[in-house]
Amino acid sequence: MRASNGPTWGADLRGDPALQRLPRFFLQDPEAPCPELLAEERRHALSVLRLQPGDRLIGLDGVGGLHPLVVRSMTRRELSLEREAPPWREPEPGSQGSPLPRLEVAAALPKGERAESMLDRLTQLGLCAFRPLACARNQGFPRESAEARLEGLLRACREACKQSGRSWLPRIHPTARPGDLRDLLVGSSAALLAPDARRTLQQWCATLGATTTGPGEFTPPPVGPVVVIAGPEGGFDDAEQASLEFATPAVLGPHILRIETAVEAAVAILAGEFYGRASAAARPAPRGTADGVDGPACPGRAEPGS
């Protein structure tokens, strides 16, 4: 898409489908006067997409900013960009205007490529932060630790952001032990995935962030992160389980799930629930109702037959 023939930048990038289809790339230094893409992003832009002078793109800074850019010049290995308009910023998850709260996961990291695939799908679903857990029954080698694989995990998150249209890159926290979570999650609402729990995750979610505003008014998510905690495939040991008593046990279904299946299902349930609430709150009240509650069409007069 060439700048001369493309759509004009608006105040809201979501308002124009043509702008939404522009390729997205993560920036190396979003504040630089002459923006540059990350090295791997630049290679992809030149070798795979074969961008040309005049092509438009959107630069991502990972913290809600969408930067309108245009290719000024290029060589086989270099790409010169210039800004076409001020950046547009999406609200941070959990803040006013965002349809989702801060959704976080604290879980043991699955082995091999399963970890990268898990972070990819969690990012698409709306994950804001992931905290790897070092548990007594963790499996895998030291080379498979989150610290050793951090760049690969972040790469998976970046690719998922571009694919799903997200502007907020999930944060990967340093590895923690289950016994550390009580202090680390102060102010959060935490659910512990447990196959023997008496309530489902949906039932637990229903107790969070009750809405009080009227129809047509946007209802912000609850203050503070909503965290899902999941143990390794062998489960938490007794000491770890005791340290997690602050979290509410919740079950997903009747079967034993892999780590990645469990946390992905949990985040999907929470994202769907909170997005549904936000969408319902933003819809105007139906005609003939007061504050969204069905009632007589004329206040003070009963309907015929009552």
- Could you tell me the fold of the domain covering 13-89? Ribosomal Protein L25; Chain P (2.40.240)
SS3 category, 39: helix
Identify the pLDDT of residue 286.
59
**pLDDT at position 139:** 74
pLDDT tens by residue, 186-232: 999 999 999 999 999 999 999 887 544 555 555 556 557 999 999 99
CA 303 – CA 297 distance, rounded (Å): 8
Q: pLDDT of 264-304, one tens digit each?
A: 999 999 999 999 888 876 666 556 554 444 444 333 333 33
For the 103-282 domain, the top CATH level (class) is alpha beta
Domain-by-domain residue ranges, the chain?
Answer: 13-89, 103-282
Q: In what order do the strands lie in the sheet with 103-107?
A: 171-172, 127-132, 103-107, 226-230, 189-193, 248-250
* Cβ atoms of 263 and 230 closer than 8 Å: yes
pLDDT of amino acid 2 = 43
Sequence-separated contacts (24+) of 196-200 with Cβ below 8 Å: 196/249, 196/251, 197/249, 197/250, 197/251, 198/249, 198/251, 199/248, 199/249, 199/250, 199/251, 200/250, 200/251, 200/252
Instruction: Name the average pLDDT for the chain.
Output: 84
Angstrom distances, CA of residue 185 to CA of 46, 48, 57, 271: 43, 42, 38, 19
Q: How far from 36 is each of 33, 40, 50, 81, CA to CA, in Å? A: 9, 11, 16, 7
- Tens-place pLDDT, residues 247-266: 999 999 999 899 999 999 99
Contacts of 61 (CB under 8 A, 6+ apart): 26, 27, 30, 67, 87
| pLDDT tens digits, one per residue of 82-130 | 999 899 999 999 988 888 999 999 999 998 899 999 999 999 999 999 9
Give 4's pLDDT tier (boundaries 50, 70, 90): very low
176-185 tens-digit pLDDT: 999 999 999 9
Q: For residues 154 and 172, give the distance between their C-alpha atoms in angstroms, rounded to a whole number.
A: 8
